[in-house]
Amino acid sequence: MLEKHYDHQAIESRWYPAWEENKLFSSKVDPTKKPFTVVIPPPNVTGMLHMGHVLNNTIQDILIRYKKMNGFNTCWVPGMDHAGIATQTMVEKNMRKQGIDPDSLTREEFLEKVWNWKHDFGGLIIRQLRRLGSSCDWDRERFTMDEGLSNAVLTMFKHLYDKGWIYRGKYIVNWCPALQTALSDDEVERSEEDSSLWHFKYPLVEGDGHLVVATTRPETMLGDTGVAVHPDDERYKHLIGKKLLLPIVNREIPIIAHTHVDPAFGTGCVKVTPSHSKEDFEMAMDTNLEFLTVMDKRAIMNENAPEAFRGMDRFKARKAVVAKMEELGFLLKTEPHKVAVGRCYRTKDVVEPYLSEQWFIKMEHMAKRALDVVLDGKIKLHPERWVNVYRHWLENIRDWCISRQLKWGHRIPVWYCGDCGAQTCSVELAEACGTCGSKNIEQDPDVMDTWASSWLWPFSVFGWPEKSEDLAYYYPTSTLVTAADIIFFWVARMVMSGLEALDEIPFDQVYFNGIVRDLQGRKMSKTLGNSPNPLDVIDKYGADALRFSVVYNTPYGEDTRFAEASCDLGRGFCTKIWNANRFLQMTFEGVTPDDNWREAEGDIVARWILSRLHSTIDGITEELENFRLANAASRIYNFFWSELCDWYVEFLKPLQREADEAGRAVMLGRTQAVIDTCLRMLHPFMPFVTEELWHHLDDRHEGRYLVQQDWPKLNRDLIDTEIEDAMSAIQALISGTRAVRKSYNLPNNAHFHLYLYAAPSQIRYIEEMKPILLKLAGLEDYTVLEENAAPQGCTAINVKGMSAYLDLRGHLDIEAELGKIDAKIAKINKEMKPLEGRLKNKGFVDKAPAEVVDKARADLEELKRQVDTLSQTREDLQKLGQA
């Protein structure tokens, strides 16, 4: 017998170890089965479980369990990303707390510290995912710095290097001064912020005139090597080629013409600082301007800046430059201005455009192929609206800066020869120059962007570049589930690398789940402190409750708003499922179920519940196939709670009391079969409680588990819409009668006579259900009308497809009820008068706090609504009395 109360902690701690010990999640190559392969979006090795992980991994687990029950050989590969920037930052922070200066260590010593940290503290999130019930193949766990995956990264680098698609060059990059490393465009978060636009006068070298330039970054003017105007700007055509004297620095700089200049911005004159602006870099390349870098890698003014500014950080230098320009009389004006500020996605430090030598991957050719497979439908994005976002990025793609100035990561596999100056690219450690044979070589100190390893994830986890049996069987993978905010970082790049390395797409379906937000719509973050700890939520509510609640409340491809209390829905549903199974045990205690119940499906209740069950199977299966998981969760929730527990069980109680032993055995067999089917449909969503109840539902042989069972098979022959409509009408009659009794505060023992006007087919079903209808609705009997006319003293019940009237004569003192209503209306009118007076008082409306006035208006509207409701009830009663 089941315990009285559902104890999620005891159940969850029991079943997950059993699943793991019995290798339920393990996958091996099986040519007789079709694989369904999912690779987990690898969380950072520094990561902790958060609500975004809960949603993303619950969706993946639902799909894996569903496909496994449909006969697929499922393989869900877990793993972690080495997270170059995040991990190095965390390890350095910990070292400094211990009094160790990270910069004092050699590269090898530092990396040893990182590996030790990874062993002791890294990968906590992978262990936490077990608490959520994730059915990953833990024997296949991978790490992007593992030997095999590292070899894949280096192999891909050399492949692209040999094709000429990887190159090294000096360009303006996004530079994070806090981390002192380059970032790709996708690692920069851009937003508009309040700033200023300063207008400076730059005097002409010859003559008394000057040009006015407008800038949002005055500190960079110290590195100006020119001023640009548009070649067609009539105001300045005559000055092109002349010289200006750069204030403060007193350096002569030319006036150049370039089409990049917008004549309508500011004064139409643009200062050109080639080492500190992407646009200026391009103009300088076109016009042979000088490149002068005036900041170091920490964004501190360097030796190329005037002595008075050296050693200042960029923002202090900004103020100092403005003050000096004002002192010299060159500041014309300052005005408020919105600027697009780029910030590092990790540190949130303002990114500096910086001239630096970096490694880049040419993207144009790979981007075209990656776009074609999506536009051709070989890869389907869900929701489809993301196709346009994906296309826009790929059609406007830039070369990818993949080098990072870090120690932790995959080191650039290129060596420079100190004798002949040649480069040698090698997957293995190079011992000599590949051109001249000299051993005087040195490896590039930079490492690769973290994404340059995870873009190989769908095939590197299966052994590529080796042609393994796993790779041949499991690749391409089946479905990718991820958040849309890494559609560029990761998704598009995986498509590129898969096509380039294997000439095959990496997956054929991508589902973009939404972002988990708080109730105010803010993205959850540690900074805001608005995110609950999922493990605390699991401790309190259970993993099943958390999983079901977050999926139920997350529409297809949309964001969701979550608070801990949201899990009340899931916990309540767990309790409902538990209690339904306890009811079955207690009601049919001592009864042996009749497994031949299908041969005794004569009664309408049996036919109805089986019809609704198979309609639900049909709907849920379709929703899961189309990634509409919230709809699927809603369907099974509504069927189990409302139709099975609220209606079928209520119908079953009187039926089983009146049935003989054989009849009860049939009822038990059918009900067990229905609940068994429900547990199978619920299992992907709520694996723990369903496993527990499935084992209690019948005698189970050792070693049998719910995820190993078949997904319910749809039998369309059992779907009978006529019976469903008839039973819906009967339920409406019962609910409507109960509502009338409650509305008029009539006692439960008040039995009414019912009048019906309906089609003969409907009456036939009502006649079959007559004993149950009379009992559950509290009716003495019913009469079928020959024409649709309400008898005297009756009130109508809203029932689709028929007319129904309850006879209230003898049950209701209409005059007394009217008197009660009049008294209530009078009382409310009395309450309304002072509110109306205050709101008519202009002094109150104008002087009282807005929230006080708004509350007064809201209170008045609510009172008016109550009067309207009571007035309608009074009108209905009067009509009833006149009938």
Give yes or no for a contact between 55 and 562, defined as CB atoms under 8 angstroms apart. Answer: no
d(CA 434, CA 138): 42
The CA R_g of the chain, rounded to the nearest whole Å, is 37
Angle, helices 534-541 vs 8-21, to 10°: value is: 110
What is the structure's pLDDT at 523? Answer: 85
pLDDT digits (tens, 9 = 90+) for 580-593: 999 999 999 989 88
Residue 395 sits at φ, ψ, to 5 deg, of -75, -15
Binding-site members for ATP are 526
d(CA 326, CA 142): 59
pLDDT digits (tens, 9 = 90+) for 231-251: 999 999 999 999 999 999 999
Cis peptide before 476 (omega within 30 of 0): yes
Residue 561 sits at φ, ψ, to 5 deg, of -105, 130
d(CA 39, CA 60): 9
Continuous segment of H or E residues that includes residue 36: strand 35-39
What is the structure's pLDDT at 796? Answer: 83
What is the structure's pLDDT at 9? Answer: 95
pLDDT digits (tens, 9 = 90+) for 807-829: 888 887 777 878 888 898 999 99
What is the structure's pLDDT at 882? Answer: 63
d(CA 687, CA 446): 46
Angle, helices 661-682 vs 604-625, to 10°: value is: 10
Tokens (6 digits) for 427? 């997957």
pLDDT digits (tens, 9 = 90+) for 599-625: 656 689 999 999 999 999 999 999 999
Higher-scoring residue by pLDDT: 74, 183: 74
Tokens (6 digits) for 687? 């694996």
Give yes or no for a contact between 400 and 187, defined as CB atoms under 8 angstroms apart. Answer: no
Q: Which fold has domain 556-719?
A: Isoleucyl-tRNA Synthetase; Domain 1 (1.10.730)
Find, among 745, 758, 771, the residue nearest to 797 by Cα.
758
What is the structure's pLDDT at 875? Answer: 79
Query: Who's near 857: CB < 8 A, 6+ residues apart?
Result: 839
Find, among 42, 122, 129, 41, the residue nearest to 88 by Cα.
122
* Full-model pTM: 0.87
User: How many H-runs (helices) and E-runs (strands) does the chain carry?
Assistant: 28, 29
Report the amino acid identity of residue 319.
K
Per-residue b or e along 691-709, where b marks 16 or more CB atoms closer than 10 Å to that residue's CB: bbbbeebeeeeeeebbbee
Binding-site members are 526
pLDDT over threshold 90, residue 879 = no
Find, among 535, 546, 537, 532, the residue nearest to 689 by Cα.
546
CB-based contacts of 859-864 (< 8 A; 24+ apart in sequence): 859/835, 860/832, 860/835, 860/836, 863/828, 863/831, 863/832, 863/835, 864/832
Residue 526, sorted as left (phi over 0), alpha (psi -120 to 50) or beta, turns out to be: alpha
What is the structure's pLDDT at 881? Answer: 67
**In CATH, what class is 181-353?**
alpha beta
Cis peptide before 274 (omega within 30 of 0): no
What is the structure's pLDDT at 599? Answer: 66
Angle, helices 770-777 vs 649-658, to 10°: value is: 120
User: Across 526-670, where does the E strand assignment appear?
Assistant: 560-561
pLDDT digits (tens, 9 = 90+) for 367-406: 999 999 999 999 999 999 999 999 999 999 989 999 999 9
d(CA 454, CA 44): 11
Mean of per-residue pLDDT scores for the chain? 93
**What is the number of residues in the chain?**
883
Find, among 247, 277, 248, 250, the residue nearest to 261 by Cα.
277
Work out the number of other CB atoms within 10 angstroms of the CB of residue 784. Answer: 14
Continuous segment of H or E residues that includes residue 678: helix 661-682
What is the structure's pLDDT at 525? Answer: 74
pLDDT over threshold 80, residue 877 = no
Give yes or no for a contact between 585 and 1, defined as CB atoms under 8 angstroms apart. Answer: yes
The CATH classification of domain 13-154+458-536, taken from the options 1.10.3720.10, 3.60.70.12, 3.40.50.620, 3.40.50.1970: 3.40.50.620
Report the amino acid identity of residue 708.
Q
- Tell me what percent of the chain is helix, strand and coil, each rounded to the nearest 5: 50, 20, 35
The three-class DSSP label of residue 354 is strand
What is the structure's pLDDT at 112? Answer: 95
What is the structure's pLDDT at 601? Answer: 60
In the chain, what percentage of residues exceed pLDDT 70?
Answer: 99
pLDDT digits (tens, 9 = 90+) for 404-440: 999 999 999 999 999 999 999 999 999 999 999 999 9
CA dihedral 108, 109, 115, 121 (to 10 degrees): -160
Tokens (6 digits) for 440? 């005087």
pLDDT digits (tens, 9 = 90+) for 321-358: 999 999 999 999 999 999 999 999 888 999 999 999 99
Give yes or no for a contact between 328 and 248, defined as CB atoms under 8 angstroms apart. Answer: yes
d(CA 478, CA 85): 30
Grade residue 526 by pLDDT with cuts at 50, 70 and 90.
Answer: low
Per-residue b or e along 785-796, where b marks 16 or more CB atoms closer than 10 Å to that residue's CB: beeeebeebbbe
Report the amino acid identity of residue 317.
A
d(CA 212, CA 334): 12
Q: Please tell me the number of Cα atoms within 13 Å of 552 on its side-chain side.
A: 22
For residue 598, give Cα distances in angstroms to 417, 595, 611, 746.
82, 8, 13, 42
Tokens (6 digits) for 767? 């006649």
Per-residue b or e along 628-640, where b marks 16 or more CB atoms closer than 10 Å to that residue's CB: bbbbbbbbbbebb
Give yes or no for a contact between 80 and 43, defined as CB atoms under 8 angstroms apart. Answer: yes
d(CA 271, CA 278): 13
Query: Who's near 327: CB < 8 A, 6+ residues apart?
Result: none
Report the amino acid identity of residue 672.
Q
d(CA 520, CA 406): 38
Q: Give me the mean pLDDT over the 700-718 stretch.
A: 89
Grade residue 205 by pLDDT with cuts at 50, 70 and 90.
Answer: very high
Strand partners, 448: 403
Tokens (6 digits) for 492? 């598009």
Find, among 713, 715, 695, 692, the residue nearest to 704 by Cα.
695
What is the structure's pLDDT at 817? Answer: 77
Grade residue 140 by pLDDT with cuts at 50, 70 and 90.
Answer: very high
d(CA 260, CA 289): 15
Boundaries of every domain in the chain: 13-154+458-536, 181-353, 556-719, 723-807, 814-882
